[in-house]
Chain A
Amino acid sequence: MRSATPWSEVFDQLLLATGETLYMVVVSTVIAVLLGTPVGIWLQLTAPGGLRPRPVLHKVLGFVVDLGRSMPFLVLLVVLTSLTRLLLSSTIGPTAAIVPLSVGAIPFVGRLVQNVLAEVHVSVVEAAVTTGSSTLRIVRSVLLRESAPALVNAVGVTAIALLGYSAMAGVVGGGGLGDLAVRMGYQRFNDRYLWSTVVVLAVIATAIQLVTNRVARGVDRRRTTSV
């Protein structure tokens, strides 16, 4: 008869795993957004009806992006080990997990960003074109600025998706909450680990959502008067 793991021990492990998870999610979200946003902008610019329509390039780019998105994350983890070794000269640990997490999320962010930018109405974009603005200026002060609230939400969606994917980081010794839940909770039938990680994951996801909602409202300059 095993006695339950003392809460203090659970708590210590939980703290460590939460730190690892937050580290992986935050860093990979930042990298994925930084690299995925230009992909999304490029997709939208080259789209039919975009500012620089290039149908063939757009198709090829879209194909690559969708290929990346359809790749199961577990496969990506394994496939990208050599890239990880190249970049970090190590393939183990939370930092190593950041490479496949970021790379996997780039096409995801690309599509999200493209969809958000496509929502900016064509007559708004054309109005900017007729002012003689450069494409760069239109991207910056029209496309990105007009969709800023939706872009912030897209970052939140990405972070929550990466929170989910980071659970698989255990495969490369990345640790984190998902790994703790699987190793200690599921494989060793330890309910304290299982449920407490679930609670912490839910809290993190909710916090991400609350923060993005708040920031999205903050950057939204539309102020509709209540009539």
Chain B
Amino acid sequence: MITVENLTKTFPGSTGQVRALDGVNLDVAAGTVLGVVGPSGSGKSTLARCVGLLERPDSGSIRVDGTDLVSLDGIALRAARRQIGVVPQGDSLLRQRTAAGNVALPLEAAGVAGPQRRNRVAELLDLVGLTDKAGSYPDQLSGGQRQRIAVARALAASPSVLLADEPTSALDPDTTGSVLAVLDRARAELGVTVLVVTHDMGVVRRICDDAAVLENGRVVEHGKVLDLVSDAASRTAASLLPAVDQNPAAEGSFDRVADVVLIGFAAVGALLPEATSRFGVDLNLLGGGLTRLGETPVARFRVGLKGERADSALEWISEAGGSVRRTLSGPQGVAA
């Protein structure tokens, strides 16, 4: 469990001070995955580096499992660092060591030796599915394999927290999947609390329970991903949900046009057909699509309704758990 309170960090810049973090508050519950997103320069890496004890904040507190880590020094700082596994941004493996040698690095620092160390390294290589690459050097591994080794290394000393800064930014979609699967496994099998910085909403969709959006060093949105997508005011929601193309010509012929967000198997499968039959309306899908947030299917459809009871149908959908986003009142009312 990570608790960040009122964290600030300024850097000297060419045009005065840069406020990289400006009063950041966050918490990540034990065993959950938080995705930190936001535009370039918004302070995501600075946040991850502060939590990873690579950068000392100007003020505020960072607590991992209750212990404040900000003011630690020397041996206590080094001990605290072992509690936090870090997958740094970019290539971070030692090129002169095998995959197994890299995974062993934190164990050496922690004084774990002999068969105990070998067993732990084997466990982790197994966790990331690279047992057969134990003796390979980083130059012989693909980008995705290297990142999985970096994750295995970060987990070697059994930290309670795992931080990853853009772990998939240099990878193609297929390889990204394999790295995300490993992060997900770390949470599921080891109960690790994960903070992942990313600019890829696909990462948030696939493995994050919570998301936080940074802008200019401030948290502007923070919550459960499933809550954010059903929140009409959330800007993150728009980028998490399937896109809807604008098609005014097609929309003109309906009495009502609305965006409907449906969460969960039951809602996605049954809500719209049921509304159609209950209210005797003619309901057409004009756009949008289906995606998944973790294991949960989530849909955003643009629907066009014809019939006298169109408004009632929409109201019923929203009462039944769908979230109705944008009601255009009839053919004349463009862009409400």
- Which residues from chain A sit less than 8 Å from chain B, CB to CB? 121, 123-124, 126-134, 137, 141-142, 145-146, 148, 220-225
Q: Which residues of the other chain, B, contact A123 by a CB distance below 8 angstroms?
A: 88-92
In the assembled complex, B106 has its CB within 8 A of some CB on chain A: yes
In the assembled complex, B153 has its CB within 8 A of some CB on chain A: yes
- 22 A–B pairs (Cβ distance < 8 Å), ordered by A: A121-B90, A124-B93, A126-B54, A126-B86, A127-B93, A127-B105, A127-B153, A128-B94, A128-B105, A130-B54, A131-B81, A131-B82, A131-B106, A131-B157, A133-B78, A133-B105, A134-B78, A142-B94, A145-B96, A148-B96, A220-B96, A221-B97
A151 → chain B closest CB, angstroms = 12
In the assembled complex, B139 has its CB within 8 A of some CB on chain A: yes
CA distance A195 to B97 in the complex (A): 47
Interface size on B, residues (CB 8 A): 35
Q: Name A222's contact: one of B52, B88, B106, B137 (CB within 8 Å).
A: B137
Q: Give the residues from 88 to 110 in chain B that come closer than 8 angstroms, CB to CB, to chain A.
A: 88-98, 105-106, 108-110
Q: Name B96's contact: one of A121, A132, A137, A222 (CB within 8 Å).
A: A222
B145 → chain A closest CB, angstroms = 13
CA distance A137 to B140 in the complex (A): 26
Q: Which residues of the other chain, A, contact B138 by a CB distance below 8 angstroms?
A: 222
B90 → chain A closest CB, angstroms = 4
Closest to A149 in B: B96
CA distance A108 to B78 in the complex (A): 34
In the assembled complex, B226 has its CB within 8 A of some CB on chain A: no
Closest to A134 in B: B78
Q: Which residues of the other chain, A, contact B106 by a CB distance below 8 angstroms?
A: 131-132
In the assembled complex, B150 has its CB within 8 A of some CB on chain A: yes
Question: Are A130 and B86 in contact (CB-based, < 8 A)?
Answer: yes
Question: Are A146 and B105 in contact (CB-based, < 8 A)?
Answer: no
Closest to A145 in B: B96
Closest to B85 in A: A130
Q: Give the residues from 143 to 199 in chain B that come closer than 8 angstroms, CB to CB, to chain A.
A: 150, 153-154, 157
A37 → chain B closest CB, angstroms = 18
Question: Are A222 and B95 in contact (CB-based, < 8 A)?
Answer: yes
Q: Which residues of the other chain, B, contact A224 by a CB distance below 8 angstroms?
A: 137, 139-140
Question: Are B94 and A225 in contact (CB-based, < 8 A)?
Answer: no
Q: Name A127's contact: one of B53, B82, B92, B96 (CB within 8 Å).
A: B92
Question: Are B137 and A221 in contact (CB-based, < 8 A)?
Answer: yes
Given A130-B53, A130-B88, the answer on whether A146 and B94 have CB atoms closer than 8 Å is yes
